[in-house]
């Protein structure tokens, strides 16, 4: 819609597994009066869309999806691309504990609602020891383990298989001090094809010191696009290590700082760069209102979604038009210099 607002004719392609959804959106727009010629829709695999992009040479492309494809497109399209790609999104719980039930509920929603298939899903939780002592992890466990396939509070994972998610879980559990908080098992009693994932909501605890080691950091910060998160605990004096971890992550999309301590919040904000960051005791990573900027930071290719500023950035460009209609000076004024 942002492309249309700025007068473009977009060519739209989404993953072939869910392409039928966007087709129904276009049919709704046509029903509401949108001209059928305003948008072209291409069904099919991503390789087909890639071939079309090479031949069409579009003026601009907005890509939302995996980091691997995003980097390939940046090369093939000679940099004429905006990216709203992968995000390993973090949440920091500050030292001030309050509203425990609400914070636990929000953590469960951020990590596991929509079966965790949100680019802004809570990927890692940095919980201050005060929250752990207060029983936050037990509350999250109760909420997450109550999710079940029968009421669709958990469901199929489209981009990771059951085996790949469980293999990743096992790899994390090999880190010294790691432990399974909950999940780590396949869902039962279903007919979900093996090409998709079907696992219980899962959380793996990794000691902060181990998570920061170079040999572990890569796997700890691997985004699993499903009902999965990493949990770690930090104590007074360890905030610099937590902020170091946030800085070392490669894609800075969404973050949350759960605290009503304004000095703590300002310190974290001043040392992080995520494009969309929620702060306050109600801070979340998902369920965002649609009237604010949503996009990554720290990359000049980063796309914004949602605001007039974002739409202008991605779907328009700056033009400088200088008018000079006259009057024309007399001939005596036209001297060479």
Catalytic residue numbers, as ranges = 84, 119
236 burial type by CB count under 10 A (0-12 exposed, 13-18 middle, 19+ buried): exposed
Cα(13)–Cα(302) distance, rounded to whole angstroms?
19
Contact criterion met (CB below 8 Å) for 255 and 276: yes
Neighbours of 278 (CB within 10 A): 22
Helix H, strand E, coil C: the string for 185-196 is CECCCCCCCCCC
Cα(181)–Cα(170) distance, rounded to whole angstroms?
13
Cα(284)–Cα(113) distance, rounded to whole angstroms?
12
Where helices occur in 185-238 by DSSP H, the ranges are 208-211, 214-220
Cα(220)–Cα(203) distance, rounded to whole angstroms?
12
Helix (H, G, I), strand (E, B) or coil at 294: strand
Angle between helices 67-76 and 46-56 (to 10 degrees): 20
Hey, what are 16's tokens? 């072939």
Largest CA distance in the chain: 94
């Amino acid at each position: 819609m942002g492309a249309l607002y700025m007068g473009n004719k977009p060519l739209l392609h989404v993953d072939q597994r869910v392409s039928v959804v966007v087709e129904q959106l276009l049919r709704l727009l046509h029903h509401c009066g949108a001209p059928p010629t305003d948008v072209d829709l291409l069904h099919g695999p991503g390789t087909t869309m890639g071939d079309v992009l090479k031949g069409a040479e579009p003026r601009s492309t907005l890509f939302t999806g995996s980091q691997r494809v995003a980097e390939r497109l940046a090369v093939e399209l000679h940099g004429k691309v905006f990216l709203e790609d992968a995000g390993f999104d973090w949440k920091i719980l500050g030292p001030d504990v309050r509203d425990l039930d609400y914070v636990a509920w929000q953590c469960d929603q951020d990590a596991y609602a929509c079966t965790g298939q949100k680019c802004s899903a809570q990927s890692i939780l940095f919980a201050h020891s005060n929250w752990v002592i207060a029983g936050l992890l037990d509350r999250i466990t109760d909420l997450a383990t109550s999710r079940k396939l029968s009421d669709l509070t958990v469901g199929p994972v489209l981009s990771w298989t059951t085996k790949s998610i469980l293999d990743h879980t096992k790899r994390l559990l090999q880190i010294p001090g790691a432990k399974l908080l909950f999940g780590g098992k396949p869902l039962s009693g279903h007919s979900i094809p093996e090409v998709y994932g079907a696992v219980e909501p899962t959380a793996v605890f990794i000691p902060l010191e181990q998570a920061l080691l170079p040999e572990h950091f890569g796997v700890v910060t691997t985004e699993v696009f499903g009902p999965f998160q990493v949990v770690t605990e930090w104590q007074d004096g360890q905030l610099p290590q937590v902020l170091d971890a946030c800085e070392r992550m490669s894609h800075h999309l969404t973050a949350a700082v759960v605290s009503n301590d304004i000095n703590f919040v300002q310190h974290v904000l001043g040392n992080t760069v995520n494009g969309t960051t929620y702060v306050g005791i109600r801070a979340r990573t998902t369920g965002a209102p649609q009237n604010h900027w949503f996009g990554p930071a720290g990359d000049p290719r980063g796309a914004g979604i949602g605001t007039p500023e974002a739409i202008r950035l991605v779907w328009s460009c700056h033009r400088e038009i200088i008018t000079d209609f006259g009057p024309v000076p007399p001939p005596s004024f036209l001297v060479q210099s």
